[in-house]
């Protein structure tokens, strides 16, 4: 048996199994060895129904039946009900305001439920709003035998539980891995992490860790190997980012000297002065662009913290600078440097263009907008509008000859047809995956690259930022401009809903608009998740129309819609052709509808705090007082405590740190797009581990030591290739 052998060479597989394995991305022996348990059975909170007591938090392995959707008697809130049975008894389960659960589950399905036990008026025990895990049941056989043998529990033997799919059970994976390991396949395996690092951080070696992670004798061993693989993942990301940083940093760039005064003069024109945080950001940027190599900086700040204002004032300073004449050793006395600014969607690009037009009014600076559908230019030669529609060809000509000095747009900016005369600075907004390749397309020249400023309002913990943005220097805008009205955030219990709806109706009479966000649905299959979300959005919009807001124009927004449809709907909402927009969390994508001053978030306990904060960010842009209504049915004190942080935390970063500590990485917005696995995310919780991985990786790259570690170098190249082919 060889690591590169396919599984079908050594296991007899039927068609369903083959499909399932492919779906899990498991083709070779090595793939399977690197398929780590999602968790280990934990006997401490696992209970039989007959042993449950009021107040327990427990996990039960059950068969569900009697699924139905009801409306609660008083508040008319839809809820799902079921009966759960194991061999010892049965218990009633209720999910308040999560009627969709009844649709996710099937009659007779085996699941594990984790939640709090309470007693109703008749003295019956119930479990309310439990977490449902459809995947862990398969090992219940293991659990129950385990459970009845107390002496085994005391020895802390735990069984690995693997993520399953149709045709491939956790048990099958467990046995297959045991078979593979018993062949002695690990004997020839060389560790790719350098020995000095293994020793320094007391990590198990690759051989040991591969055994321990699948067949731990003690839970401590499993933890040590998980730590090793988590470290390993972050270490490889850090290596790759350090390499990128080195490559970018060795290129040439325009050396631009701008004084803080020049920047301030522009800001004064806008009628305000920079916050302390903005000042820090500006001076970091000015120091960067004065160097002969490209800046690589990330500006992270909540919506409204003044990122666009910084971008505009830096852009202004850059484009009023002359290109440098290398032969004469001083700036030319003609021409000007150029700035490109890229946004993820057409609406956002257009919004940036519009803000820039306002900020640059009265200056001679020419600004272009280039999107998939057309082109615009500011200032207009004739007419009363500040800008005119022009042909793309015309705009591209003016960009190429340098007349248009600021070009704003979507991905259209990195098409081959776009070329700049003297592009000195590229600003990129909310593009988490704008990597080296895209940067290369912007610069269009060998060994030369424009300065690069990335901006994001996505609040993520510092450890995660240091990892996924390891190639960038970080600046945090942790302060809002003064005098900003805070969004009034209220936690609304089920019996206070009517009062809230009444309040909203009054505000709507004043002409305000409302977002309603439906609960997050956790479903491993993203496609299914989207379908369920769509259904729940449609159901809620119908309910609101029928029962609460019969005379309002209500429409929906969800991920099953095409980008075009979403943009259309957002436009109609922005024009107030829609009063209430019922949506999934897709509205996160930062569109600005100033008249929408209210947001309801249903099932708020199902969201991460940072995500709730981002959703709330949809209503901060108004001059009217904004309101965020956090609807929750949870009676868990812990959940309520967590949600209260929305009222006290200073900013999104604080909330993202709380998310990570309280509930783990699954609660961080956009986790999937960052390409860090769940295991890698375990490292993200641990600042020491992230710093260690970062220090070691930087040391190796900066001192050019990679060639001394042949096993590491080979593995690094293989992984990097895989990342870049994705």
Q: Is 201 in the site for ligand ADP (CB under 6 A)?
A: no
Taking each helix axis from N to C terminus, what angle separates 307-319 and 346-359, rounded to the nearest 10 degrees? 60
Residue 617 to residue 457: CA distance in whole angstroms = 9
Q: By CB under 6 A, what part of segment 125-184 binds ligand ADP?
A: none
Task: Return the one option of Mg ion, ligand ADP, none that residue 309 interacts with (CB less than 5 to 8 A, by type).
Answer: ligand ADP
Q: Is 272 in the site for ligand ADP (CB under 6 A)?
A: yes
For 107, which DSSP code? T
- The correct pick among 165, 305, 336, 614 for binding ligand ADP (CB under 6 A) is 305
- Cα 664 to chain centroid distance, Å, stands at 13
Whole-number minimum distance, CB 589 to ligand ADP, in Å?
A: 13
Task: Return the one option of ligand ADP, Mg ion, none that residue 591 interacts with (CB less than 5 to 8 A, by type).
Answer: none
- The correct pick among 89, 194, 249, 304 for binding ligand ADP (CB under 6 A) is 304
| Interface size with ligand ADP, residues (CB under 6 A) | 13
Choose the stretch contacting ligand ADP; rule: CB under 6 A; options: 268-276, 571-579, 682-690, 709-717.
268-276
- The correct pick among 49, 146, 157, 303 for binding ligand ADP (CB under 6 A) is 303
Q: Is 350 in the site for ligand ADP (CB under 6 A)?
A: no
Burial of 52 (0-12, 13-18, 19+ CB in 10 A): middle
Choose the stretch contacting ligand ADP; rule: CB under 6 A; options: 132-140, 216-224, 306-314, 672-680.
306-314
Q: Is 275 in the site for ligand ADP (CB under 6 A)?
A: yes
Q: Is 297 in the site for ligand ADP (CB under 6 A)?
A: no
Q: Is 308 in the site for ligand ADP (CB under 6 A)?
A: yes
Whole-number minimum distance, CB 590 to ligand ADP, in Å?
A: 7
Whole-number minimum distance, CB 482 to ligand ADP, in Å?
A: 7
Contacts of 256 (CB under 8 A, 6+ apart): 289, 290, 317, 318, 321, 337, 424, 451
Helices (H), 294-433: 307-319, 346-359, 392-400
Whole-number minimum distance, CB 103 to ligand ADP, in Å?
A: 38
Query: How do beta strands 125-133 and 110-119 pair?
Result: antiparallel
Token pair listed for 479? 């302060």
- The correct pick among 194, 435, 481, 594 for binding ligand ADP (CB under 6 A) is 481
- Which CB atom, from 309 or from 404, has the smaller least distance to ligand ADP? 309
Between CA 342 and CA 352, with CA 347 as vertex, the angle to 5 degrees is 50
Q: Which residues of 95-105 are buried (b: 16+ CB within 10 A; e: fewer)?
A: bbbbbbbbbbb
Cis link prior to 353 (omega < 30° from 0)? no
Structural element, H or E, at residue 196? helix 195-200
- The correct pick among 306, 409, 450, 494 for binding ligand ADP (CB under 6 A) is 306
Token pair listed for 56? 């327990």
- Output the CA torsion 701→705→711→717 (10° steps): 30
Could you tell me which residues are beta bridge partners of residue 492? 631
- Which CB atom, from 274 or from 537, has the smaller least distance to ligand ADP? 274
Residue 667 to residue 671: CA distance in whole angstroms = 8
Could you tell me which residues are beta bridge partners of residue 488? 627
Whole-number minimum distance, CB 542 to ligand ADP, in Å?
A: 34
Whole-number minimum distance, CB 566 to ligand ADP, in Å?
A: 20
Whole-number minimum distance, CB 308 to Mg ion, in Å?
A: 4
Q: Is 456 in the site for ligand ADP (CB under 6 A)?
A: no
- The correct pick among 143, 241, 307, 376 for binding ligand ADP (CB under 6 A) is 307
Token pair listed for 663? 């509930």
Q: Which residues of 533-557 are buried (b: 16+ CB within 10 A; e: fewer)?
A: bbbbbebbbebbbeebbeebebebb
Choose the stretch contacting ligand ADP; rule: CB under 6 A; options: 151-159, 300-308, 632-640, 685-693.
300-308
- Which CB atom, from 275 or from 308, has the smaller least distance to Mg ion? 308
Task: Return the one option of Mg ion, ligand ADP, none that residue 472 interacts with (CB less than 5 to 8 A, by type).
Answer: none
Choose the stretch contacting ligand ADP; rule: CB under 6 A; options: 88-96, 120-128, 280-288, 298-306.
298-306
Contacts of 216 (CB under 8 A, 6+ apart): 40, 158, 160, 222, 225
Q: Is 279 in the site for ligand ADP (CB under 6 A)?
A: no
Give the residues lining the site for Mg ion (CB under 5 A): 308
- Cα 452 to chain centroid distance, Å, stands at 22
Binding site for ligand ADP (CB under 6 A): 272, 274-275, 278, 301, 303-309, 481
């Amino acid at each position: 048996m060889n690591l590169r052998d396919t599984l079908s060479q050594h296991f007899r597989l039927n068609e369903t199994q083959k499909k399932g394995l492919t779906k899990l991305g498991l083709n070779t022996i090595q793939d399977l060895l690197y398929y780590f348990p999602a968790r280990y059975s934990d006997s401490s909170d696992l209970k039989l129904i007959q042993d449950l007591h009021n107040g327990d938090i427990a996990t039960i392995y059950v068969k569900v039946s009697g699924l139905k959707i009801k409306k609660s008697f008083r508040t008319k809130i839809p809820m799902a009900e079921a009966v759960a049975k194991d061999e010892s008894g049965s218990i009633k389960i209720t999910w308040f305001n999560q009627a969709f659960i009844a649709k996710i589950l099937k009659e007779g399905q085996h699941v594990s439920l984790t939640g709090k036990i309470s007693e109703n008026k008749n003295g019956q025990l119930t479990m309310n709003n439990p977490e449902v895990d459809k995947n862990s049941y398969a090992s219940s056989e293991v659990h129950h035998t385990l459970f009845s043998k107390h002496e085994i529990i005391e020895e802390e033997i735990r069984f690995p539980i693997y993520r399953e799919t149709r045709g491939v059970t956790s048990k099958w994976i467990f046995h297959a891995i045991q078979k593979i390991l018993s062949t002695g396949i690990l004997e020839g395996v060389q560790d790719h992490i350098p020995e000095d690092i293994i020793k320094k951080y007391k990590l198990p070696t690759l051989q040991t860790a591969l055994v321990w992670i699948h067949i731990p004798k003690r839970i401590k061993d499993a933890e040590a190997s998980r730590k090793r693989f988590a470290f390993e993942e972050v270490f490889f990301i850090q290596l790759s980012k350090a390499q990128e940083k080195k490559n970018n940093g060795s290129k040439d760039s325009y050396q631009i000297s701008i004084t803080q005064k020049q920047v301030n003069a522009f800001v004064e024109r806008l009628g305000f002065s920079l916050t302390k945080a903005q000042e820090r950001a500006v001076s970091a940027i000015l120091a960067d662009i004065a160097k002969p190599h490209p800046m690589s900086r990330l500006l992270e700040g909540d919506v409204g913290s003044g990122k666009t204002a910084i971008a505009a004032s830096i852009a202004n300073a850059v484009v009023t600078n002359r290109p440098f004449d290398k032969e004469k050793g001083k700036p030319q006395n003609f021409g000007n440097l150029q700035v490109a600014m890229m946004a993820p969607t057409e609406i956002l690009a257009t919004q940036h263009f519009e803000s820039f037009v306002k900020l640059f009014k009265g200056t001679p600076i020419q600004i272009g907008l280039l999107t998939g559908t057309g082109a615009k230019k500011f200032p207009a030669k004739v007419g009363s509008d500040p800008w005119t529609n022009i042909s793309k060809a015309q705009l591209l000509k003016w960009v190429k000859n340098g007349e248009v000095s600021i070009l704003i747009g979507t991905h259209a900016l990195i098409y081959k047809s776009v070329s700049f005369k003297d592009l000195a600075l590229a600003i990129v907004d909310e593009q988490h995956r704008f990597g080296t390749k895209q940067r290369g397309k912007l610069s269009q020249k060998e060994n030369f690259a424009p300065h690069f400023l990335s901006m994001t309002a996505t609040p993520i913990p510092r450890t995660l930022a240091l990892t996924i943005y390891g190639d960038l220097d970080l600046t945090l805008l942790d302060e809002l401009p003064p005098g900003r009205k805070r969004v009034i955030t209220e936690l609304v219990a089920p019996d206070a809903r009517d009062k809230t709806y009444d309040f909203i109706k009054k505000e709507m009479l004043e002409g305000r608009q409302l977002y309603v966000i439906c609960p997050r649905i956790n479903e491993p299959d993203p496609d299914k998740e989207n379908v369920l979300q769509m259904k729940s959005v449609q159901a809620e919009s119908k309910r609101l129309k029928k029962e609460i807001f019969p005379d309002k124009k209500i429409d929906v927004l969800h991920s099953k819609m095409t980008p075009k449809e979403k943009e259309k709907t957002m436009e109609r909402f922005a024009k107030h052709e829609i009063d209430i927009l019922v949506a999934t969390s897709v509205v996160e994508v930062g569109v600005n509808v100033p008249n929408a001053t209210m947001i309801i978030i249903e099932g708020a306990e199902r969201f991460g705090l940072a995500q709730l904060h981002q959703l709330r960010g949809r209503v901060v842009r108004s001059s009217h007082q904004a309101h965020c209504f956090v609807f929750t049915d949870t009676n868990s004190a812990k959940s309520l405590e967590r949600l209260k942080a929305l009222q006290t935390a200073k900013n999104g970063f604080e909330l993202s740190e709380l998310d990570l500590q309280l509930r783990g990485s699954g609660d961080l917005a956009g986790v999937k797009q960052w390409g860090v696995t769940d295991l890698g995310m375990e490292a993200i919780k641990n600042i020491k581990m992230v710093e260690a991985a970062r220090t070691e990786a930087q040391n190796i790259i900066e001192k050019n030591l990679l060639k001394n570690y042949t096993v590491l170098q080979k593995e690094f190249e293989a992984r990097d290739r895989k990342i870049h082919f994705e």
